[in-house]
Structure 1
Amino acid sequence: MKHSKVFFSFLFLCIGYISFAQKAYVKGIILDDEKRPVSNVSITSSGNFSQSNADGFFEIEIPSNRKVSLIFTHVSLKMMSLAVSLKPNEVFIFNPVMNNSEEQMGEVFVSSGSKKRVQGITVIDAATIKKIPGANAGIENILKTLPGVNSNNELSSQYAVRGGNFDENLVYVNEIEVYRPFLIRSGQQEGLSFTNTDLVQNVDFSAGGFQSKFGDKLSSVLDITYRKPTEFGASLEASLLGGSVSVDAVSKNKKWSAVSGVRYRNNSLLVNSQDTQTNYTPTFVDFQTNINYDISEKWQMSFLGNISQNKYLYQPLTRETKFGTVDNPLTLNVYYEGHEIDEYNTYFGAFKTTYKIAPDFTLKFIGSLFHTQEQEHFNILAQYRLSSTNDEDNTENIDFTRGIGSQLTNARNDLDALIANAEVKGFKEWSDSQLEFGLKYTRESIRDRVVEWEMIDSAGFSVRPPIINLPADDQPYVPYTGVLLPYQNIRATNSNVINRFSGYTQWNQKTEIGSSQVWFNAGVRFQNWSVSGATVEGKNQTVFSPRAQFALKPDWDTDMIFRLSGGLYHQPPFYRELRDLNGVVNPDVKAQESVHIVLSNDYNFKIWNRPFKWVTEVYYKSLTDVNTYSIDNVRIRYTANNNAKAYAQGFDFRLNGEFVPGAESWVSFGYLKTEENYENKGFVARPTDQRLKFAMLFQDYMPNIPSIKLYLNLVYNTGLPGGSPSYSDPYLYQNRLNDYRRVDIGFAKVFIDSNTKISKANWLKNFKELSLGVEIFNLFNNQNAITNTWVRDVYSKNQYAIPNYMTSRVFNVKLNARL
């Protein structure tokens, strides 16, 4: 296969990737024909040996990324064999049934991803997450290349799925729901997402039609598992954007294990590439740890902890933006005074214990506490000049000034939130079916103060607020004597407690229809909640959400699965959804409701004798009791009523496989249309109406120098509705931003990996992996805008939309090492 010479014209010796230890694990419980555990079964594979204990439990370590045979032998039972092929650090659960009448010879080849394939879950390789370049690298960076997942902001880790918004996505780490700060309004303020990719073992993602066990949100589920180390290890990553260190630790008796990591992030390199010149000193730091303790083979405990401190200090100085047409080039110059000081301190701790009552019955208890203290303080004066130029390349050659004005923005917003959870989950298994259930209590205590206002002056005149009905006047003949009002003015103080009870139960069944395999899943969720506070008292509300999945694998020569999934999905309002445009809490906001149907086809095949997969999904959502909202950068503001209905429909395609031997790549394409009807005014596009999406994630290497790697991340999204003037009515005016186009590329020189042979005398022998590379963000220097700034032209009496561009081309150098 030819490799593109164009890619390698950008080649530097660079940073690469850290892949985790090249080992995998098979474990489970061995039973006999009467479903009793079998002890003293010998399990051998590739020189490794294990034996089942009195409860029939076994665990064996095997090499990853290749086909391995396991042999099970017992003095009184017939031998059986199993063939598996697992990814690094993957754990495959296998519960064989041995008998004394039939020798199970030959290969029983097991695909470890078959269960998730049936459920419609996309599995993302943890090693790929580390390799792929992006301005905000991590799990979310990879998600944005998947069909149905959209984001037009490379500085943000937030994403929208199939017409939903950022608040409609569930995120779990080790089965524990995690949260993000409330007050963040700009992507460059976010810093670090919760998930530390250095600690990740498995990443599963569902874009819709997910099961009842996965919470009460409308759009998607991201389910992350941190690894449980089996030996000591350490990793280091350093780049111009920050760095991270992680450590794996295991006790001598193997009962204790821990994986911990520290991260630091500084976005100055990216922010300094924008139009606005600033003094920018951010500090984004966090520490995470996942500690495991095996009390016995039946009882395990773990603790997940996180401390995060994000300080955002921002002092804009000047801005120059060129726009307009060739015939009419315009320039906006802005001069700033003031600064912004934002701080987000979050503390998270979760305790989880798992107890195996019987080989086929497991109970779990999860308790977690999340505390966030946030402040958003700024006072910034922006004075602008809008000018016509007679030379688009020389902004100093000005024909005349079309408009002048100023904008004064002020905010003193503070929030303190404490969220506590207690949950019990159970899992009961039979030969071909399983029962899962859970019950959860959540208490949310939130104290919030909102004080923000904006004054706009245009050509010496204060601009009136657009939503205030003022009495008719007869200016300039009769002077206006009313008070001057700010263009925007929001003031509110809230102190609320939300109590929630939720639970689920679901049944999984595997059977056959004729010679075809069939999987059923049916379940129901419920949630009961009430909102109380010093000045408000909400009514008690309850919703039920039945859901189901059906999958069919015909007895064909081709490896194909058909799936139909969906049901009723509710999203009881979280705190931000209760707060209206004036900052006031409405305690009686209903849960948004969605009838969701997904029809999909999953086809595995081979090209060039290498594995490929083609996935097609068609979906439709019908939404009622919709709580409409507007999006400004990543800030969402709700109307806090349920006066709308909406729909979302579309289809997604994804082709993934080894376009290059040994490296997974994929191509995604999606179409989406989503509209809402507010108070029966008619259907208009929702803020997340992302019509077309194309993305590519590609991994390659030089054929003659395989240690030179290439990683490509390409995204194209059509323009979103947005950038309209503040408080504009979408039924009177709706604007679409330009298309979003971005290519990030990385080159790496891998000095050491699992295939490198190092002599004992070489000082590099202590490294398991070592790479150095360079990344180019926004390779083609596309100008992508996230919002618009609106200024007034005194000459023509028009308003101009000046795009607020995101980052331009940026170079980054990165070092990765693992001991």
Structure 2
Amino acid sequence: MKKLFLIFFCIPIVAFAQKTTILKGTVKNKEKQPIENVSVKFGNTGTTTDESGNYSIRIPLNEEITIIYRHVSYKPFTKKITAKSRNGIRFSPILSLKIEKLETIVVKDRKKEAQGIIKIDANKAKNIVGPNAGVENVLMTLPGVNNNNELSTQYNVRGGNFDENLVYVNGIEVYRPFLIRSGQQEGLSFINSNMVQNINFSAGGFQAKYGDKLSSVLDITYRKPREKATTVEASSLGGSATFEGNFLNNKLNVLTGVRYRDNSLFVNSKQIETNFRPRFTDLQSYISYDFSENFTLSYLSNFSMNNYNYQPISRRTRFGTVADPLELIVFYQGKEENNYLTLFNALSAKFEANENLSFTTTVSSYNTQEEEYYDILASYNLGEVDANIGSEDFGEVDFAQGIGSQLNHARNDLDALINNIQIRGSYKKNRQQLDFGVKYQNEDIRERIREWEVIDSLGFSVRPPNSSGNNQPYEPFEGPIIPFQNIREDNNVQIHRISGFVQFNERLFWNDNEVWYNIGVRAQNWTVSANGRNSKNQTIISPRAQFAIKPSWKTDMLFRFSGGWYSQPPSYRELKDFYGKINENVKAQKSIHFVAGMDYSFDMWERPFKLTTELYYKDLSNVNAYSVDNVRIRYRADNVTTAFAHGLDVRLNGEFVPGSESWVSLGYLKTEENIDNRGNISRPSDQRLKFGILFQDYVPNLPNLKAYLNLVYNTGVPGGAPAYADVYQFQERLRDYKRADLGVSYIFVDANKRYQKGFLSNFKELTAGLELFNMFDIQNAITNTWVRDVYSKTQFGIPNFMTGRVLNFKLAMKF
């Protein structure tokens, strides 16, 4: 290891000894917007700008050269440069648009589309209204992405669950706490939308450079500051402050954000009366230092603290049908206190050997310390409601169908430490690119589980399933009174992983048709040590490929195909079964994935639009079946299940209103599983139909007054099952999920509207607005509470409703 770091830090010394230096900069247009794919060339040496307009090219010392900047939409720009020092030169030209109009030729960069990646505007992630405003809020309007819980930032993609999604920030994989079982406990997403520059999302068929998961990739890039500024946001739900700036001759770049959130406004709109104030805080920093033109060191850190204190008082829920209405009344005693403390640190070093070859080394550490403590006694009365309109007791409970109580206890502690080191490289030459990397990761998880539940119905203690029979009153019962469920485990798990990848992509022309392809393979080897038992050494290999073609037609269309053999080695949660026991020999879940897509770009109402369509199919084996309760996933910790998922995603986006991008999404999904050869049943994520609208508008005579509409309709998913019940007997679905959020904002100050004097001259940006969540006050259910009745041997599923209508005021300023 010492030799490795010695070689790594000595490479820049060798580079400096060469008789060349680095010319770098950012190419922009007159609106100060970066321009991608600008050709930067002198002689036979050249490069192109990236999606942020940045370029870097090595030039000779003490020699006059002529640099030419070319782009199909802009006038060429020429600059003569003589480098006098090895310290490097920075030059950022401004290009002017061509005046001539091209009638029949449309040239666009389609790299992201060819890769099956959706690129999302970072400003949209900050502005779109939603209970959890941010990147995930925008994702949930896309086809194939589903979530029935507005208090959660987790999402399902094309039939997968929350644990099957990869999330990267600046190329570093990020994690979330382990013990969270309810969306209202989650708090803040790791991603701070005020720090984001680029958002790329793939719903399947992604490249080998991304990790070993089955469903999706969210690839986030934090920005490097270009000015000193402070942004402050405040609302009824909390606030945030973000500071950014450049120091030490623009070599040191600092971006720091602090956020605070209080979900009391949402929780108080629910049917359960509580003393409840969930508070969440995090501090995040991204710092980079340019030691030279070809060596940069960056540091990413996150500190997050979630305090969840919950003291329920009472609940009243009416359900059933008009002809047979029922009412559940619950009175609570006790409270719940949960704490989640997470720490994340990552150090990255990027070295550019030349304009073609670069390396990045990253060392990261993630630690989560979690406590889940509660003692809650619930006494309930399940009654039949008088539905006779002519009755004096109409609407009142006239018969108690079930009376009982339930005591839940937990003292759960978890401490997880995940450390890894990875080295990635990239070699580019002309239109070819080779990417490769290797990663070592160690996971140390220690958990203490003390969790039990006692149920009483009509004075009888309900025994757990599969327990010995009870023939009272005909025979006296002499067995002990035992909890309905009781989990007592101490787990100490160590996981060692070595993974790597290599992939090659090329852009070329076949006759007059533009073609792009990518082929690659991933591999991972891992071992598990659980409570003194060691697993077998396991290895998976995951080949993947992508192909896209843009025909030379007058109609602007692009066709793409992707797929491969995807594998997901088990995480700690997947090793743990319903009873908290660890099965260290759980195998990787596998999926053969096929995706066929088409992009059709066209003009309508003299404005640009794009229709995107994708068909997909997943054939899954070695599946580790699971159940979902709110956002808590519990696995069977075996591989006796097979499954499949197929569907269609359609998205139309464009300027429905001039100058503002909006979109309409439609998704169809069917996913089923076969557990231990018992036949196909719907998976917990089988959400057949999804319809979403993300719409932006403004007042024509008052363009600074803007409106945002976020509308989602999802058909219901299977409602889950009572604890330890047979899922084959519980396949009823929850009601459809329908939600509309509306936001109105007014821009007082921005880049196009500045003041030279007066109070408003103190701001670079100033915006105020109102947000109306769940504007139609629709009762959406996330799960069922199961009430057991000993007398009738019946279990009733009472829907747990989500948040009602909530009004929020929001203020944002930058200075």
**TM-score of the superposed pair, with normalisation by structure 2:** 0.89
Q: Write out per-residue CA displacement over residues 444-479 of structure 1, whole angstroms, 9 at most, x where no aligned residue.
A: 01101111111111111111112x341x45432111
How much has 1:397 moved relative to structure 2? 3.1
Single out whichever of 726-735 and 781-790 deviates more from structure 2: 726-735
2:403 corresponds in structure 1 to 404
Contact 1:603 1:615 in 2 (8 A): yes
Q: CA deviation at 1:696?
A: 0.5
Residue type of the partner of 1:212? A
Q: Which residue of 2 aligns with 1:381?
A: 377
Distance 1:214 1:644 in 2: 26
Is the aligned partner of 1:431 residue 2:430?
yes
1:733 and 2:739 correspond: no
User: Which gives a bigger RCO, structure 1 or 2 (Cα 8 Å, sep 6+)?
Assistant: 1
* 1:336 corresponds to: 332
Instruction: Give the conservation status (yes or no) of the 8 Å contact 1:312–1:342.
Output: yes
**1:619 and 1:372 mapped to 2: Cα distance?**
36
User: Does 2:577 correspond to 1:580?
Assistant: yes
In structure 1, what is the equivalent of residue 697 of structure 2? Answer: 700
What is the one-letter code of the residue matched to 1:205? Answer: F
Tell me whether 1:606 sits opposite 2:617 in the alignment: no
1:182 is displaced (CA, Å) by 0.3
Which residue is 1:656 aligned to? 653
Following superposition, the deviation at residue 54 of structure 1 comes to 4.2
* SS of equivalent to 1:465: coil
- Is 1:419 paired with 2:428? no
Question: What's the C-alpha RMSD, in Å, of the aligned pairs?
Answer: 2.9
Aligned to 2:138, what secondary structure does the other structure show?
helix
1:517 partnered with 2:519? no
The CA deviation at 1:702 is 1.2
Structure 1 position 126, deviation (Å): 0.7
Query: Post-superposition shift, 1:800?
Result: 2.2
1:565-597 per-residue CA deviation (whole Å, 9 max, x = no partner) reads: 000100000110011111111111100010000
Map of 1:786 onto structure 2: 782
Give 1:619-638 correspondences, 5 Å limit.
619-638=616-635
Where does structure 2 lack aligned partners over 5 or more consecutive residues?
1-29, 49-54, 83-92
SS for the counterpart of 1:599 is strand
SS across alignment from 1:180:
coil
Whether the 8 Å CA contact 1:50–1:58 is kept in 2: the answer is: no
Q: Helix, strand or coil: the match of 1:295?
A: strand
Look up the match of 1:812: 808
Written as runs of structure 1 = structure 2, the 5 A alignment for 1:439-450 is 439-450=438-449
Q: Which residue of 1 aligns with 2:639?
A: 642
What percent of counterpart residues are identical?
54
**Cα distance in structure 2, aligned partners of 1:161 and 1:200:** 22
Distance 2:105 2:343 in 1: 45
Q: Check conservation: 1:286, 1:309, Cα contact below 8 A.
A: yes
Q: How does 1:691-770 map to 2 (within 5 A)?
A: 691-758=688-755, 760-770=756-766
State the one-letter code of the partner of 2:117. Answer: I
CA distance in 1, matches of 2:399, 2:373: 36
CA shift, 1:23, in A, is: 3.7
Name the CA distance, whole Å, in 2 between partners of 1:576 and 1:317. 32
C-alpha deviation, 1:115, in angstroms: 1.4
Q: Which residue of 2 aligns with 1:35?
A: 45
Q: 1:527 to 1:795 in 2, by over 3 A?
A: closer
Secondary structure, in 3 states, of the residue corresponding to 1:210? coil
1:590 partner SS? coil
1:565 aligns with 2:562: yes
1:148 aligned onto 2:144:
yes
Secondary structure of the 2:436 match is strand
Is the partner of 1:25 in helix, strand or coil? coil
Give the stretch that moved more between structures: 187-196 or 746-755. 746-755
**Partner deviation per Cα, 1:415-463 (whole Å, 9 max, x = no partner):** 0011001000000011121100000000001101111111111111111
- Matching of residue 475 in structure 1 with residue 475 in structure 2: no
Matched, 1:273 2:269: yes
Distance in 2 (CA, whole Å) between partners of 1:682 and 1:558 is: 46
Structure 1 residue 501 displacement after superposition: 0.3
Question: Mean Cα displacement is larger for which, 630-639 or 510-519?
Answer: 510-519
Residue in 2 aligned with 1:129? Answer: 125
User: 1:188 deviation in Å?
Assistant: 0.1
Please say if residues 539 and 588 of structure 1, whose CA atoms lie closer than 8 Å, have aligned partners that are also in contact.
yes
Greater mean alpha carbon deviation, residues 787-796 or residues 403-412: 787-796
State how far apart, in whole Å, the 1-side matches of 2:224 and 2:106 are: 23
Write the distance in 2 (CA, Å) between the matches of 1:374 and 1:51.
48
CA 1:37–1:170: 2 relative to 1, 3 Å: closer
Q: 1:180-329, aligned counterparts within 5 Å?
A: 180-329=176-325
**How far off is 1:53 after superposition?**
5.6
Query: Contact (CA 8 Å) 1:26, 1:61: kept in 2 or not?
Result: no
Maintained 8 Å contact 2:47/2:57 = no
Between the aligned partners of 2:488 and 2:629, the Cα distance in structure 1 is 19
Distance across 1 between alignment mates of 2:388 and 2:552: 66
CA contact (8 A) 1:147 1:653 kept: yes
CA shift, 1:252, in A, is 4.8
Distance 1:714 1:106 in 2: 38
Give the 5 Å matches for 1:470-509: 470=468, 472-509=469-506
Verify the 8 A CA contact 1:450 1:492 in the aligned structure 2: yes
User: Distance in 1 between the 2:219 and 2:369 partners?
Assistant: 26
Deviation of 1:82 after TM superposition, in Å, equals: 10
What is residue 671 of structure 2 aligned with on the other side?
674
Secondary structure in 1 matching 2:727: coil
Q: Which residue of 2 aligns with 1:462?
A: 461
Distance 1:242 1:626 in 2: 41
Deviations 1:709-736 (A, max 9, x none): 1000000000001243222212233221
Question: In the aligned structure 2, how far is the partner of 1:705 from the partner of 1:386?
Answer: 55
Which structure 1 segments of 5+ residues have no match?
1-20, 39-48, 86-104
Distance 1:795 1:529, change over 3 A: closer
User: Displacement, 1:690?
Assistant: 0.7
The residue aligned with 1:590 is: 587
Q: Is the 8 A contact 1:206 1:222 kept in 2?
A: yes
Deviation, 1:72, is: 2.8
Q: Which amino acid aligns with 1:485?
A: I
C-alpha distance in 2 between matches for 1:379 and 1:813: 36
Secondary structure, counterpart of 2:136 in structure 1: helix
Residue of structure 2 in register with 1:369 after alignment: 365
Distance 1:70 1:35, change over 3 A: closer
Distance 1:556 1:111, change over 3 A: closer
Deviates more, 1:399-408 or 1:191-200: 399-408
Q: Which of 73, 77, 102 in structure 2 is aligned with 1:71?
A: 77
Q: CA deviation at 1:755?
A: 1.6
1:321–1:68 CA distance, 2 compared to 1 (3 A): farther
CA distance in 2, matches of 1:174, 1:765: 35
Partner Cα separation in structure 1 for residue 338 and residue 241 of structure 2: 26
Q: Distance in 1 between matches of 2:69 and 2:314?
A: 59
1:531 aligns with 2:551: no
Matched residues in 1 for 2:67 and 2:308: separation? 47
SS at match of 1:370: strand
Q: Secondary structure at the match of 1:581?
A: coil
Is the contact between residue 84 and residue 110 of structure 1 (CA under 8 Å) also seen in structure 2?
no
Other-structure match for 2:157: 161
- Following superposition, the deviation at residue 113 of structure 1 comes to 5.2
Which residue matches 2:682?
685
What TM-score do you get using the length of structure 1 for normalisation?
0.89
Shift of 1:504: 0.3
Question: What CA distance in whole angstroms lies between the structure 2 residues aligned with 1:733 and 1:277?
Answer: 29
Change in CA separation of 1:51 and 1:388 when aligned onto 2, cut-off 3 Å? closer
1:723–1:786 CA contact under 8 A, matched in 2:
no
CA contact (8 A) 1:674 1:686 kept: yes
Shift in Å at residue 74 of structure 1?
4.5
Please give the alpha-carbon distance, in whole angstroms, between the structure 2 residues aligned to 1:723 and 1:641.
Answer: 19
- Rounded to whole Å, the distance in 2 between the matches of 1:336 and 1:75 is 77
How far, CA to CA, are the matches of 2:105 and 2:415 in structure 1? Answer: 53
8 Å CA contact retained: 1:751, 1:770: yes
